[in-house]
Amino acid sequence: MKIENQKPVILVIDDDKSNIDLILNILPHYDCIPCLSGKLALDIINEENIDLILLDIMMPDMDGFEVCSIIKLKPEFEHIPIIFLSSNDTIDSINHGFELGAVDYVTKPFNPIELKCRIKTHIKLLNFQKSLEEKNLKLEKLNQKIKEIAKSDLEKVYEEYSYLSDDDIDLSHYLDNVSLDD
């Protein structure tokens, strides 16, 4: 869980240092980790708590599509939003990026304001998702407690009125047939 004032961490993966420098300059409100290769990026993801990835496609050794595929195959990392940044603006490339699990695709040269807005949007969405997951866990625990209390109370009612004949009320039948599950 992030500390309230901690900056979101963005992994910037591009084999061109000038592209990384440009991105670092336009994202001062984020904690950016620069990375010049896909292989190194996979090591960094295992070591750091990454909130978002900006990923170039055309890189030597391992292209961005392969990096994205590897990240999305690991359950502990599949939630990390990936935004492709590429000069490749073909429909096939864009579609392939989304098919692999990217949340966005920005073509180079990019508009800095547009990139910042897209990053901000995806960070907000990630935070909302995490918040919903936390609230769902709390609700599941609360529902379990309610089920336990209800069952206990029904058992007490049954014990209290067990002297009644079957003709009066059949609570055992009721207890057997009532379901506190979804």
Q: Of residues 157 and 92, which shows the higher confidence score?
A: 92
Q: Which residue has the higher pLDDT, 165 or 110?
A: 110
Ramachandran sector of residue 61 (left: φ over 0; alpha: ψ -120 to 50; beta: rest):
left
Residue 86 shares a structural domain with residue 173: no
Question: What is the extent of the structural domain holding 115?
Answer: 9-134
- Mean pLDDT of the 133-139 span: 90
0.85 surpassed by pTM: no
Confidence of residue 162 (pLDDT cuts 50, 70, 90): low
**Number of domains making up the chain:** 2
Instruction: Output the DSSP codes for 49-107.
Output: --SEEEEES--SSS-HHHHHHHHHHSTTTTTS-EEEEES---HHHHHHHHHTT-SEEEE
The reply to whether 126 falls in a domain is yes
Q: What is the pLDDT of residue 147?
A: 82
pLDDT tens digits, residue range 46-95? 999 999 999 999 999 899 999 999 999 999 999 999 999 999 999 999 99
Shared domain for 123 and 168, answered yes or no, is: no
Question: What's the pLDDT at 109?
Answer: 92
Same domain, 148 and 78: no
User: Does one domain contain both 95 and 82?
Assistant: yes
Mark whether 128 and 142 lie in a shared domain: no
Counting residues of the chain whose pLDDT is more than 70, the rounded percentage is: 85
Residue 160 has pLDDT above 90, yes or no: no
Q: Verify that 93 and 149 share a domain, yes or no.
A: no
Q: Identify the pLDDT of residue 148.
A: 81
pLDDT at 15 over 90: yes
